Amino acid sequence: MPNLVNAPDRVNDFVIKFANVNGTGSASANSLIMKAVFRMGVPVTGKNYFPSNIQGLPTWYEIRVTRDGYSARAGRVDIMVAMNAETYSKDVREVASGGYLLYDATWPRSTLLQRGDITVIGVPLAQLVNENFDGVRNRILLKNIAYAGVLAALLDIDLEAINGLMSESYGKKPKLLESNTRALRLGYDYAKEHLQCPLPLRVERMDKTRGHIMIDGNTAAGLGCVYAGATIGAWYPITPSTSLMDAFKGFCERYRVDPATGEHNFAVIQAEDELAAIGMVLGASWNGARAFTPTSGPGISLMNEFLGLAYYAEVPCVIFDVQRVGPSTGMPTRTQQGDIMLCAYASHGDTRHVLLFPANPEECFYMAVKAFDLAERLQTPVFVLSDLDIGMNDWMCKDLKWDDAYRPDRGKMLSAEELASLDKFYRYVDRDDDAIPYRTLPGVSPKGAYFTRGSGHNQYGAYTEDSAEYQFVLDRLKRKFSTAARYVPKPEILGKGDSKIGIVSVGSCDGAVREAIDVLARQKIAVDYMRIKAFPFGHDVESFLSLHATIFVVEQNRDAQLRSLLTLETAVDKSKLKSILSYSGFPMSCEPIVDGIRATLPDAPRLTAITGKHAR
Amino acid sequence: MSFINKPKVAHPSLPTNALGMTRRQYEGSMSTLCAGCGHDSVTAAVIEACWGLDMRPEQLVKLSGIGCSSKTTAYFVSGSHGFNSVHGRMPSIASGANAANRELTYVGVSGDGDSLSIGLGQLVHAIRRNVNMLYLIENNGVYGLTKGQFSASADIGTKAKKGEVNQSPPIDPVLLALSLGATFVARGFSGDKAQLVPLIQAGIRHRGFALIDVLSPCVTFNDHEGSTKSYTFTREHYHAAIEADYVPPAQEISVDYPEGETLPVQLHDGSRVVLRKLGASYDPTDRSAAYGFIEEKLKQNEYVTGLIHINEDVSHEFHHLNKTSSVPLNRIPFEKLSPGSAALEKLLGRYR
């Protein structure tokens, strides 16, 4: 049984947590450290725990240096960089036994920061910075760089890696580069002179980040939209989805402006609300452009009306739901998987929607492209259910690849020539027996004209209040959803398939589940794992569920929404499905999964008992 | 309208437009509105306007929300695509559709409930965004499909069919559009087709958001004594102040207009509207003056009709501001949209 706390070798395997005040520019210093570790070839993840606020409130950033390449939250803190006096008492408690706390000793806090089992390191950061730099704002910013310098010395992080990053950022601003380089050196030299460097927790060069990038899911999804050929994005600003549209717009300004004319091959429309945002997406998609909207739970609530129209009138559209903590306004800057049911059945009446579940930024890129293909192929809304953890945090991912042979799947869209060869065009007739009808675009031919409506219609597209005609269309839509199950991505299945125990999970739980599987394997407990990538569920999901006697459904919400969906939409015996839930708002760690599974096994100690930690 | 479908066969002597099409070919499916409904007259005016503009049916996109008025998009130009969306949300559908293809002609038909209550937010933002479309409000002061409740355009003191008197002040779409800086604001009356047709034509040709508020009485729920939106009241109180003639690009202005009382305004496509003013001092290009005039007349219970305000400055039109490609976004070849693998590889350097 490995003892995680006092593991002899903590090289490239520890967690740094930064406690800062938001609006003080700490983010850039923290990401410098993370990126430098990455450039030293050591796998790393960064997670930002920030308030819904612009300036003055506590904010934390967590960097996990992980030689094994785990992507989940570690659930422990080895070094606390305590830069916010307001949260000292909370921060000091959080450090694992045997860990370290670095603070600004310009104002010594000998009593507040006392704990016998950790090492407190004081560096007079403010004093150092004030003696060397002018200007209040400047000093605040450079203090962050100075603690980065201290950390570089303490953790043996390559100073040149940090300098390299800074010259890339400030290459065109030599004055800024000079002051930042000097501040970094100030902290570094102080630590080298006054502290014992390096600590037993340190970074050592590896070669495990080659072929990888550090990227957040919103950026990757925005990039995916550009590559998919999306031309119209309509949105209403909402955390945590805003950076997706920022990314799309940024990439469009780079790749979609005609150098000769300055004309834009894109339109980003900031709508008056989410109702209008989805309406614009429908209007644009109906008119033949690839269009999308990024939003979060409260936006989906507002979009419900239009989503029912899109389902019933069969208008393609792509919605990115970067989920945050609900219900209601909830905690806008914390993560959750609370919109699974909301999206699966959005809007009144009988509706069911196609959902895609990326597990990381890499999948956000590929699934963005897939979402447009599916939406047009199936002529229906497609949701990409990301979350704040995936969307806004930096993840180490494999290099994104693009196949230049890719062409969009525009689905069954009739050209003027195809229309000319038809006797008559009817919008909702199932000509191919796959429940997907043909559509036409405005402006192409008067022969393709039809009337799109959310009111009762027959298969010819005409208004109806006739029960049989109405049901005929509704039944075809149900069949279309079965067709969808054949088109959506299959689940990812790990394990030999011979264990009685199976784990079923979704999205950003993936990192925690994989880590839990490793921990359990070291304890000689074998489990199989199925990560669901899409709804509707296909044959593979059914067969995994039927093959395992006990299934743990791991998800990040209170009400076991994925489990509910499985019981509603598959033939699984619901008593087999046991929930492991995390809904604190923080990204999931492996602990509750390991504990949850072990608790059901006889005579097995729980992981918290082994490490003496508390699951958060 | 008639209760049986008219045969689509047209008599050879029917006049045709430049495309060789008869008016009949601009009709849609049979109206299901009440006999005598003002909306059907508006439909007829739209048909006449499109025929007169020699518009290819597929060039037109018809959009609507929910309500009696919104049904009417099915009753004209069956050769064009129609989108009957959800209540009060047509402007967002129009905005998105227009963003995707700037070349088509967008005509939205809405009502006073659809536009001034549930859809007020979307209407004002479509005006603010200056979407290039014609937006018709068929304004009758009541909710028809739900049987006669007051709408937000009902005047103070107007009486409902069951006797209730409205106490809340109305929202006037013309004053609203003027205050928001709409670049084409007009008011018409369903009973005055001669005035309405050129307004619709000019509104279609105007580049930017064109709003026409059409007083269109509800014969079933709001055509009684005591209503300020009845046929009788409207006929007595509408004030045809600024008549407009639409003159297509190729045509000379041949009619002899009295000096000082006419104002030809060049539209973006080279066509013109010639405004015949009742008062020589009225200047429809002066927004604040127009606002004052309309407000003053409303106080006297007079609905000023005609082309009230026009501004051919396109600098705030959506696509102009967006610098949208002149090739519609839905027709740009994929090769120009996707940056390709080499660009991606280069970009990844940013994330290492």
Higher pLDDT among residues B9 and A574, named by residue = A574
Q: Which pLDDT band, with edges at 50, 70 and 90, does A1 fall under?
A: very low
Answer whether A449 touches B (CB < 8 Å). Answer: yes
Task: For residue B84, list its beta bridge partners.
Answer: A453, B64
Does residue B282 carry a pLDDT above 90?
no
Cβ separation of A446 and B80 shorter than 8 Å? yes
Task: Tell whether the torsion through CA atoms of B312, B318, B322 and B327 is positive or negative.
Answer: negative
Task: For residue A293, list its beta bridge partners.
Answer: A319
Identify all chain B residues contacting A408, using CB atoms and an 8 Å cutoff: 334
Domain check: are A345 and A300 in the same one? yes
Distance CA A574, CA A122 (A): 55
Domain boundary (A444, A470, A487) is at A487
Instruction: Find the CATH number of the domain harbouring A34.
Output: 3.40.920.10
| Residues 216-235 in A contacting B (C-alpha not used; CB under 8 Å) | 223, 226-232, 234
Domain assignment present for B12: no
B351 vs A215, A230, A450: nearest CB: A215
What residue numbers bound the domain in which A425 lies?
416-487
Stated pTM of the model: 0.95
How many domains would you assign to chain B?
1
Q: Which pLDDT band, with edges at 50, 70 and 90, does B266 fall under?
A: confident
Q: What is the DSSP letter of A444?
A: S
| Residues 345-404 in A contacting B (C-alpha not used; CB under 8 Å) | 399-404
Does residue B243 carry a pLDDT above 90?
no
Question: Which pLDDT belongs to residue B283?
Answer: 84
Cβ separation of A452 and B59 shorter than 8 Å? no
Domain assignment present for A6: no
Domain check: are A511 and A587 in the same one? yes
Crossing angle of helices A361-378 and A467-487, rounded to 10°: 140
Q: What rounded mean pLDDT belongs to chain A?
A: 94
Distance CA A206, CA A43 (A): 9
Q: What is the pLDDT of residues A15-58, one digit of tens each?
A: 999 999 998 889 999 999 999 999 999 999 999 999 888 888 99
Instruction: Find the CATH number of the domain harbouring A231.
Output: 3.40.50.970
Does residue B2 carry a pLDDT above 50?
no
Domain check: are A438 and A524 in the same one? no
Domain check: are A352 and A474 in the same one? no
Residue A414 and residue A440 in contact, taking contact as beta carbons nearer than 8 Å: yes
Distance CA A460, CA A468 (A): 13
- Which residue of A lies nearest to B96 if distances are taken between CA atoms? A280
Distance (Å) from the alpha carbon of A376 to chain B's nearest alpha carbon: 14
Domain check: are A535 and A475 in the same one? no
Domain assignment present for A350: yes
Question: Which pLDDT belongs to residue B336?
Answer: 96
Domain assignment present for A202: no
- Cβ-count burial of B24 within 10 angstroms (0-12 exposed, 13-18 middle, 19+ buried)? middle
Q: What is each CA distance from A318 to A128, A211, A324, A453, B21, in whole angstroms?
A: 52, 30, 19, 20, 40
Question: Which pLDDT belongs to residue A609?
Answer: 43
* Helix boundaries (H) for A239-360: 242-255, 274-286, 297-313, 340-344
Distance CA B335, CA B327 (A): 14
Task: For residue B224, list its beta bridge partners.
Answer: none
Cβ separation of B97 and A284 shorter than 8 Å? yes
Distance (Å) from the alpha carbon of A615 to chain B's nearest alpha carbon: 33
How many domains would you assign to chain A?
4
Which of the residue ranges A100-114, B135-149, B275-289 has the most confident prediction, judged by mean pLDDT? B135-149
Q: Which pLDDT band, with edges at 50, 70 and 90, does A614 fall under?
A: very low
Answer whether A270 touches B (CB < 8 Å). Answer: no
Segment among B120-124, B141-145, B247-251 with least mean pLDDT: B247-251
Domain check: are A480 and A591 in the same one? no
Cβ separation of A289 and B59 shorter than 8 Å? no
Task: Tell whether the torsion through CA atoms of B95, B96, B97 and B98 is positive or negative.
Answer: positive
Identify all chain A residues contacting B78, using CB atoms and an 8 Å cutoff: 449
Domain assignment present for A71: yes
Domain boundary (A448, A464, A487) is at A487
Domain assignment present for A601: yes
Cβ separation of B92 and A448 shorter than 8 Å? no
- Which residue of A lies nearest to B332 if distances are taken between CA atoms? A265
Domain check: are A183 and A222 in the same one? no
Domain check: are A178 and A254 in the same one? no
Domain assignment present for A512: yes
Q: What is the pLDDT of residues B309-331, one digit of tens each?
A: 999 998 899 999 999 999 999 99
Distance (Å) from the alpha carbon of B134 to chain A's nearest alpha carbon: 16
Question: Which pLDDT belongs to residue B231?
Answer: 92
Distance CA B227, CA B224 (A): 6
In this structure, the strands spanning A451-453 and B81-84 are: parallel
Domain check: are A328 and A439 in the same one? no
Q: What is the pLDDT of residues A294-352, one digit of tens each?
A: 999 999 999 999 999 999 999 999 999 999 999 999 999 999 999 999 999 999 999 99
Residue A15 and residue A62 in contact, taking contact as beta carbons nearer than 8 Å: yes
Distance CA A536, CA A556 (A): 20
Domain assignment present for A208: no
Cβ separation of A227 and B344 shorter than 8 Å? yes
Mean pLDDT score, A246-251: 98
Cβ separation of A282 and B330 shorter than 8 Å? no
B58 vs A251, A272, A443: nearest CB: A443
Cβ separation of B337 and A401 shorter than 8 Å? no
Q: What rounded mean pLDDT belongs to chain B?
A: 91
Residue A383 and residue A353 in contact, taking contact as beta carbons nearer than 8 Å: yes
| Terminal C-alpha separation, chain A | 22
Question: Which pLDDT belongs to residue B4?
Answer: 59
Q: Which pLDDT band, with edges at 50, 70 and 90, does A5 fall under?
A: very low
Instruction: Find the CATH number of the domain harbouring B194.
Output: 3.40.50.970
Torsion of the alpha carbons at A252, A254, A255 and A260, rounded to the nearest 10: 110
A443 vs B89, B103, B348: nearest CB: B103
Question: Which pLDDT belongs to residue A301?
Answer: 98
What residue numbers bound the domain in which B301 lies?
23-351
Identify all chain A residues contacting B325, using CB atoms and an 8 Å cutoff: 258, 263-265
- Which residue of B lies nearest to A292 if distances are taken between CA atoms? B96
Domain check: are A42 and A123 in the same one? yes
Residue A112 is which amino acid?
L
CB contacts < 8 A (A, B): 214
Instruction: Find the CATH number of the domain harbouring A520.
Output: 3.40.50.920
Domain boundary (A337, A368, A398) is at A398
Residue B172 and residue B195 in contact, taking contact as beta carbons nearer than 8 Å: no
Domain check: are A331 and A464 in the same one? no
Mean pLDDT score, B65-78: 96
* Residue ranges of E strands in A424-500: 451-453, 492-494
Best of B55, B344, B346 to mutate (most A CBs within 10 Å, chain A): B344
Q: Which residues fall within 8 angstroms of residue A516, CB to CB, at 6 or more apart?
A: A503, A590, A593, A594, A597
Domain check: are A578 and A522 in the same one? yes
In this structure, the strands spanning B105-111 and B60-64 are: parallel
Identify all chain B residues contacting A266, using CB atoms and an 8 Å cutoff: 329
Buried/exposed code over A342-356 (b: 16+ C-beta within 10 A; e: otherwise): bbbbbbeeebbbbbb
Does residue B260 carry a pLDDT above 80?
no
Distance CA A582, CA A594 (A): 13
A287 vs B56, B97, B345: nearest CB: B97
Question: Which pLDDT belongs to residue B259?
Answer: 56
Higher pLDDT among residues B262 and A310, named by residue = A310
Question: Which pLDDT belongs to residue B256?
Answer: 58
Cβ separation of A455 and B86 shorter than 8 Å? no
Cβ separation of A38 and B326 shorter than 8 Å? no
Cβ separation of A404 and B125 shorter than 8 Å? no
Question: Which pLDDT belongs to residue A109?
Answer: 83
A454 vs B86, B104, B348: nearest CB: B86
Does residue A282 carry a pLDDT above 90?
yes
Does residue A481 carry a pLDDT above 70?
yes
Which contiguous run of DSSP H or E holds residue B195? helix B193-205
In this structure, the strands spanning B149-150 and B142-143 are: antiparallel
Identify all chain B residues contacting A364, using CB atoms and an 8 Å cutoff: none
* Helix boundaries (H) for A118-173: 125-132, 136-155, 159-170
Does residue B206 carry a pLDDT above 90?
yes
Task: For residue A82, list its beta bridge partners.
Answer: A19, A103
Question: Residue A507 — φ and ψ, nearest 5°?
Answer: 55, -135
Domain assignment present for A425: yes
Q: For residue A124, is the peptide bond before it cis, meaning its omega torsion is within 30 degrees of 0?
A: no
Answer whether A255 touches B (CB < 8 Å). Answer: yes
**Apex A556 CA angle, A554 and A559, nearest 5:** 90
| Residues 296-315 in A contacting B (C-alpha not used; CB under 8 Å) | 305-306, 309
Mean pLDDT score, B130-150: 95
Does residue A425 carry a pLDDT above 80?
yes
- Cβ-count burial of B314 within 10 angstroms (0-12 exposed, 13-18 middle, 19+ buried)? middle
Cβ separation of A267 and B58 shorter than 8 Å? no
